[in-house]
Amino acid sequence: MSGVLELRGVSKTYHDGADEVHALREVDLAVEPGRMVAVMGPSGSGKSTLLTIAGALETPTDGEVLVAGQPLSAMSRDDRARLRRRAIGYVFQDFNLLPGLTAAENVALPLELDGMTAGKARAAGMRALEDLGLADRAGRFPDQLSGGERQRVAIARAVVGDRRLVLADEPTGALDSANGEAVMRMILAACKRGVAAVIVTHDAQLASWADRVLFIRDGRVVDRTAPRPGPDSLLSEEAAR
Amino acid sequence: MSIRHALLALLSEGPKYGLQLREEFEARTGEVWPLNVGQVYTTLQRLERDGLVESDDDADPGPQKGFRITADGAEELAGWLRTPPDLASPPRDELVIKILVAVRLPGVDVHEVIQSHRRYLVELMQQWTRLKEEEADLDIGLALVVDAELFRLDSVVRWLDTADGRLKRAALEPPAPARTATPLIRRRAGVRR
């Protein structure tokens, strides 16, 4: 199966005066449709840089990023911007909702920016909110929503329309564990509909929702989990004790 | 896990047979703690000896023999529920010992040792989370057990992360004169042997 997202030998080097900072070093990653991959590492390990490069917000110093099989380096700036609006959804720790827009307007915004008529965009936005059980919050402004609801609206915005890739940076960071779990279940539901997701986090409970976990240290992928066995193995293992 | 008190808890709901007690115990603990019938009957005999349960005198020993809790049994159960388990003295944690050994051992990369344990723990957490994810209406007992396991494993991962960071910082600093803090801790907290 071809990947929604593929990173091939991606490196990123920043220059700080005479010093070189290697934020990423030769990272390979492929995420298939319907899969969730978590990237775990401490702060400063390069995991957020990985996400911004995967999301076409930054360009790598070396290597290639492919989204839906298309190399980003071969695209014009406009094409990359279009790809970001249409195919990629972003979720950040601090929600990034626009305070002057209602929940429904926030969700519809990326579609409107992409040239969809306001009516159609609102209808698609409402569908995304309904799918996530937020229809009754559609007319509220961000400051009228709880933290958990704000993040769920942010996820609706990330999966609205024909998004194929969701990129999330510590998406449950400011939430309690019940709301954090609700957020992860929503991302998982999007994956079950065929969306590919990459979550970067330092939180093992969050990472444990993913099909695969990559461990990143000093810009390098140092380890990854084995393919995930089902829960039956766990119970039989427990029962054998 | 105190089977003794778990059986008292089940009997506090009303009289029950031995086999029924085993089935209910397993169901309430999300079937992650299997119990054999022998354990159930041995424990019931001891509870009876101690006056905490009573049985039907006239029934033959076996699956048809019923048990009920006594007033002393109910008091014992209430006391046990509120008695904190012994968490005060640090247990001799095998993982902590492995990392302490790895720090001192020449030719061993302690960060690599930490990572191999971290990976294993996260893989285990993935399995527990999958259990949660696949069973939308998870039995409340099992849901509580899964949460407890996830938080327990998570705390170990956090300790490994902290140890990793602490060792990295220590490697950048000049070595401090060696001091032995262990006897002091042992005296204060009474480390179990």
pTM of the model: 0.81
Whether B72 and B113 map to the same domain: the answer is no
Of the three residues B60, B82, B104, the one that is the final residue of a domain is B82
Whether B155 and B181 map to the same domain: the answer is yes
Asked, for residue B89, whether it belongs to a domain, the answer is no
Whether B136 and B180 map to the same domain: the answer is yes
Whether B137 and B102 map to the same domain: the answer is yes
Q: Is a pLDDT exceeding 80 seen at residue B112?
A: yes
A7 pLDDT tier (thresholds 50, 70, 90): very high
Range of the domain at B182: 94-189
Dist. CA A117–CA A111, nearest whole Å:
8
| B150 to A213: CB separation less than 8 angstroms, yes or no | no
B23 pLDDT tier (thresholds 50, 70, 90): confident
Q: What single letter denotes the amino acid at residue A185?
A: R
Whether B12 and B56 map to the same domain: the answer is yes
| A204 to B165: CB separation less than 8 angstroms, yes or no | no
More confident residue, B27 or A215: A215
User: CB–CB of B111/B170 below 8 Å?
Assistant: no
Judged by average pLDDT, the poorest of A107-111, A231-235, B19-23, B143-147 is A231-235
| A208 to B125: CB separation less than 8 angstroms, yes or no | yes
Task: List B residues 14-53 in contact with A (Cβ-Cβ < 8 A).
Answer: 31-34
pLDDT at A240: 39
B29 pLDDT tier (thresholds 50, 70, 90): confident
Whether B35 and B104 map to the same domain: the answer is no
Whether B174 and B103 map to the same domain: the answer is yes
The set of long-range contacts for B14-18, using a CB threshold of 8 Å and a minimum separation of 24, is B14/B68, B15/B66, B15/B67, B15/B68, B16/B66, B16/B67, B16/B68, B17/B63, B17/B64, B17/B65, B17/B66, B17/B67, B18/B44, B18/B62, B18/B63, B18/B65, B18/B67
| A225 to B128: CB separation less than 8 angstroms, yes or no | no
Asked, for residue B128, whether it belongs to a domain, the answer is yes
Q: Strands of B66-69's sheet, edge to edge?
A: B16-17, B66-69, B53-55
Asked, for residue B33, whether it belongs to a domain, the answer is yes
Of the three residues B50, B82, B114, the one that is the final residue of a domain is B82
Burial of B114 (0-12, 13-18, 19+ CB in 10 A): buried
Go through chain B and tell me how many residues it has: 193
pLDDT at B186: 55
Which residues of A are less than 8 Å from B165 in CB distance? 42
Whether B57 and B139 map to the same domain: the answer is no
More confident residue, B149 or A183: B149
pLDDT average, residue stretch A54-71:
93
Whether B173 and B135 map to the same domain: the answer is yes
Compute the half-sphere exposure of residue A197: CA atoms within 13 Å on the CB side of its CA: 35
Write down the mean pLDDT value for chain A: 88
pLDDT average, residue stretch B8-33:
85
For A189, name the nearest residue in chain B, comparing CA atoms only: B133
Asked, for residue B185, whether it belongs to a domain, the answer is yes
Q: What is the ipTM of this complex?
A: 0.85
Q: pLDDT digits over A8-23, tens only?
A: 999 999 988 888 999 9
User: CB–CB of A99/A41 below 8 Å?
Assistant: no
pLDDT at A241: 39
Which residues of A are less than 8 Å from B127 in CB distance? 228-231, 233-234
Q: 């709880």: which residue's tokens?
A: A146
pLDDT at A61: 96
pLDDT at B59: 59
Whether B74 and B99 map to the same domain: the answer is no
| B115 to A223: CB separation less than 8 angstroms, yes or no | yes
* Cα–chain center distance at B127: 18
Q: Is a pLDDT exceeding 90 seen at residue A200?
A: yes
Domains and CATH numbers, chain A: 5-239 (3.40.50.300)
Q: pLDDT digits over B183-193, tens only?
A: 555 554 544 44
Whether B76 and B100 map to the same domain: the answer is no
Percent of chain A at pLDDT exceeding 70:
94
* DSSP string of chain A, one letter each residue: ---SEEEEEEEEEEEETTEEEEEEEEEEEEE-TT-EEEEE--TTSSHHHHHHHHTTSS--SEEEEEETTEEGGGS-HHHHHHHHHHHEEEE-TT----TTS-HHHHHHHHHHHTT--HHHHHHHHHHHHHHTT-GGGTT--GGGS-HHHHHHHHHHHHHSSS--EEEEESTTTTS-HHHHHHHHHHHHHHHHTT-EEEEEES-HHHHTTSSEEEEEETTEEEEEPPPPPPHHHHHHHHHT-
Instruction: Pick the closest to residue A90 from A61, A42, A58 (CA basis).
Output: A58
Q: pLDDT digits over A30-51, tens only?
A: 999 999 999 999 988 999 999 9
pLDDT at A180: 85
Which residues of B are less than 8 Å from A40 in CB distance? 122
Q: pLDDT digits over B119-164, tens only?
A: 999 999 999 998 888 766 678 888 888 999 999 999 999 999 999 9
Asked, for residue B88, whether it belongs to a domain, the answer is no
Q: How many domains does chain B have?
A: 2
Asked, for residue B9, whether it belongs to a domain, the answer is yes
Whether B78 and B98 map to the same domain: the answer is no
Q: pLDDT digits over B52-97, tens only?
A: 999 887 656 666 788 999 999 999 999 988 888 777 767 778 899 9
pLDDT at B179: 60
Q: What CATH number does the domain containing B60 carry? A: 1.10.10.10
pLDDT at B166: 95
What are A216's strand-pairing partners? Answer: A221
pLDDT at B150: 95
Q: pLDDT digits over A154-175, tens only?
A: 988 998 888 899 999 998 877 8
For B127, name the nearest residue in chain A, comparing CA atoms only: A231
How would you write chain B as a 3-class SS string?
A: CCHHHHHHHHHCCCCEEHHHHHHHHHHHCCCCCCCCHHHHHHHHHHHHHCCCEEECCCCCCCCCCEEEECHHHHHHHHHHHHCCCCCCCCCCCHHHHHHHHHHHCCCCCHHHHHHHHHHHHHHHHHHHHHHHHHCCCCCHHHHHHHHHHHHHHHHHHHHHHHHHHHHHHHHHCCCCCCCCCHHHHHHHHCCCC
B34 pLDDT tier (thresholds 50, 70, 90): confident
Of the three residues B82, B104, B123, the one that is the final residue of a domain is B82
Q: Does B150 touch chain A (CB under 8 A)?
A: yes
Which residues of A are less than 8 Å from B168 in CB distance? none
Task: List B residues 107-146 in contact with A (Cβ-Cβ < 8 A).
Answer: 111, 115-116, 118-119, 121-131, 133-134
Dist. CA B151–CA A151, nearest whole Å:
23
- Which pairing describes strands A220-224 and A5-16: parallel, antiparallel, or unpaired? unpaired
